[in-house]
Amino acid sequence: MNLHSILLFLQELPLAAAVRGDNPGTEWLFPIVETCHVLTLTLVFGSIVMVDLRLLGWTSPGTSISRLTRETLPWTWTAWLLAAITGSTLFISKAVTYAGNFEFRMKFVCMALAGVNMLVFHFGAYRTVANWDMGRAPTAARLAGGLSLAFWIAVIFFGRWVGFTT
């Protein structure tokens, strides 16, 4: 079974047909799922931005990085999971088209880069957070915050662009 066959299989699922509005009474499903996707991505981005801006020293100087990450990460991961579910539901509606779309692929490249950046930060600079928790973050942490912002803005940019190219 090749990738194209898998994509066609996904696209032919009853849920995919419903999301496309192929069935009577399902024409509202795509916009409902898309709205949920956008709202969950907003929560993902917003919670990440709170930490990134603190790492950059641009906001919340009286809040420790460890406290901020401890309070925001559950929201980030919950929203990310819901965004993945809603995004996957949207994807299967036109799997072949989306998989061949440059902007769609770039969205995922940027998400992967954001993930690698997060891992490098958490297994690197964040390991010494006790030394700088209330003060200025070290260069590596500030760089991670700046890269995170850039990658997530690119995710939003490419994700939005998909809607104009599919």
Residue-range definition of the domain harbouring residue 12:
3-165
Q: 125, 162 in Cβ contact below 8 A?
A: no
Query: What confidence tens digit (pLDDT) does each residue in 72-95 have?
Result: 999 999 999 999 999 999 999 999
Q: How many residues does the chain have?
A: 166
pLDDT confidence tier of residue 166, bands split at 50, 70 and 90: confident
Query: What confidence tens digit (pLDDT) does each residue in 53-76 have?
Result: 999 999 999 999 999 999 999 999
Q: Which amino acid is at 133?
A: D
- Give this prediction's pTM: 0.92
- Cβ partners under 8 Å of residue 50, min gap 6: 59, 60, 68, 72
Q: Which amino acid is at 160?
A: R
Q: 145, 56 in Cβ contact below 8 A?
A: yes
How many structural domains does the chain have?
1
